[in-house]
């Protein structure tokens, strides 16, 4: 009886709760639906950056895909490599890549959009997922990342 009396005295709180929760979930759901995703799945049988078995940076105790994941993440930490990735997309038209501010904004956007993970199922699967609100940009970033990584691996060996 006491519960019913409190419920009737403060009915507006329950009404407010009944209206706010669905409205908030609808708002956040609509925001989430506006994110697009492009993905690439790459099979790695031997780490591409290996020139020989004595290469620095290769960890023989983890899978080839995990080695490639570490190498790509290290490259993405480099502003030069990430700028090249951004230059192969529409971000070159959105941001001025010749200025420090424009380069910083493009590099930040590329880095926050990319997720790279080694497959937990097998030792050779590498997954690259790009998420952004622009559907064409997600595909361009994924494609540019794979292209720049391929060019980087074919380049003459450099000190890392």
Residue 25 lies in a domain: yes
Q: Where are the beta strands (DSSP E) in the chain?
A: 36-43, 114-118, 125-132
The secondary structure of 90-128 as a DSSP string is: THHHHS-TTSHHHHHHHHHHHHHHEEEEE-SS-TTEEEE
Of the two residues 89 and 52, the one the predictor is more confident about is 89
Could you tell me which residues come within 8 angstroms of residue 34 by beta carbon, excluding any fewer than 6 positions away? 133
Task: For residues 76 and 63, state if they share a domain.
Answer: yes
Q: Write out pLDDT tens, residues 109-146.
A: 999 989 999 887 778 888 999 999 888 999 999 999 99
pLDDT value at residue 159: 39
Mean pLDDT of 66-83: 90
Q: Are residues 2 and 61 in the same domain?
A: no
- pTM for the full predicted model: 0.70
Same structural domain, 70 and 25 = no
Q: CB–CB of 35/131 below 8 Å? A: yes
Q: Provide the residue range defining the domain that includes 59.
A: 35-154
Looking only at the bridges linking them, the beta strands covering 125-132 and 36-43 are: antiparallel
Question: Can you give the pLDDT at residue 83?
Answer: 93
């Amino acid at each position: 009886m006491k519960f019913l009396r409190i419920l009737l005295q403060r009915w507006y709180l329950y009404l407010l709760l009944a209206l706010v929760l669905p409205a908030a979930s609808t708002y956040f759901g609509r925001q989430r639906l506006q994110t697009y995703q492009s993905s690439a799945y790459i099979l790695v049988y031997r780490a591409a950056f290996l020139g020989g078995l004595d290469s620095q940076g290769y960890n023989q105790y983890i899978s080839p895909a995990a080695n490639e994941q570490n190498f790509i993440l290290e490259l993405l930490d480099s502003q030069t490599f990430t700028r090249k990735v951004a230059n192969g997309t529409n971000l070159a038209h959105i941001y001025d890549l010749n200025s420090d501010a424009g380069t910083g904004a493009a590099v930040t956007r590329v880095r926050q959009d990319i997720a790279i993970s080694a497959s937990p199922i097998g030792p050779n699967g590498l997954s690259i997922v790009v998420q952004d609100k622009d559907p064409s940009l997600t595909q361009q970033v994924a494609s540019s990342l794979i292209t720049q990584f391929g060019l980087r691996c074919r380049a003459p060996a450099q000190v890392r």
